[in-house]
Amino acid sequence: MPAFYNDSIFWIEVDKIKPNPFQPRKEFNEAALQDLADSIRQYGVLQPLVVTRKEIQKADGGLASEYELIAGERRLRASKIAGLAQVPVLIREGQETDMMKLELAIIENLQREDLNPIDRARAFDRLANEFGFKHAQIGEKIGKSREYVSNSLRLLTLPQEMQDALSAGGISEGHTRPVLMLADRPEEQKVLFQEIMQKKLTVREAESIARRIAYDRVRKHEYMFDPEMIEIEQALTEKLGTRVQIERREVGGKLVIDFFSNDDLRGILAMLKEKREALAQQPAAPSEGAVDDSSKEEKEKPMPTTEEDLYSVKNFSV
């Protein structure tokens, strides 16, 4: 158990408390901070902050106390917004090591489930790389499995724009599983990420697409897929604006067109209808070798039906 100075709560000026340099949180939701500030104005700070204290020598030879935050940064920030001059704190005894400060900050945030997935992964990365903790050791400290820690760290391999979207809540942590499946295919990975963002795909839909892409890769590699079919697939994908897959069989095959809403289907149908109408309006081409030197009026003349009509002067022209 941590040892506190006399187990007493002290009131310290907010301006004297320095932030924790090992705070794992990088993103602080402004609306949530404002809500907390409103609550603090009404009820005060219900849970003390945790700080360390050290004496520093001033220029005039006197001593001054300096405080460094270990846990409670959201409460400190909200207290400043609320206009509080002082906040209640517990003072840790002794000189805390950097590792202890980082560990305490991480654990406090994790216990409150207050870290976004990227901040959590960065905190784990610091524990692993700066302090030499194994994934299993990190898991023990926070009550999670080694796999949980390892999977969290994999998030840091995502491109920066995807990490930013995850931090901001644009995609969920579940969405990162199918995206990470395409780590060795950055173009396909980016397309899938954009579809998740723009079309609001569910995790299951995203996983289905990622598995299909992985299957296509094996299929095209193992069966020497017809290059012409690959070209047609790409052309259809670009034309229809959605993923298209051709499945060849011994005789014929199947065309699979992805869609995610009724609007997608209506758009594809409208595009096909427009193309059909455009083709219908084009004049029919004459058959090869045919010579047509008659006028339109002559083409529309009815054929004679009797012998008298056949030899009538009206059926001859000069």
Enumerate the active-site residues.
Answer: 73
Residue 28 · residue 77 · CB < 8 Å: yes
Do residues 58 and 46 make contact, with C-beta atoms less than 8 angstroms apart?
no
Rounded to the nearest angstrom, the gap between the alpha carbon of residue 32 and the centroid of all alpha carbons in its chain is 22
Q: Which string of DSSP letters, residue by residue, matches 259-287?
A: --SHHHHHHHHHHHHHHHHHHHHSPPPPP
Q: What is the rounded CA–CA span in Å between residue 49 and residue 74?
A: 10
In the chain the first and final C-alpha atoms are separated, in Å, by 118
DSSP annotation of 315 reads: G
The burial of 102, by beta-carbon neighbours within 10 Å (0-12 exposed, 13-18 middle, 19 or more buried), is given as buried
CA pair distance 160, 164, nearest whole angstrom: 6
Closest CA to 159 of 149, 147, 171: 171
Tokens of 284: 């029919």
Judged by DSSP in three states, 204 sits in helix
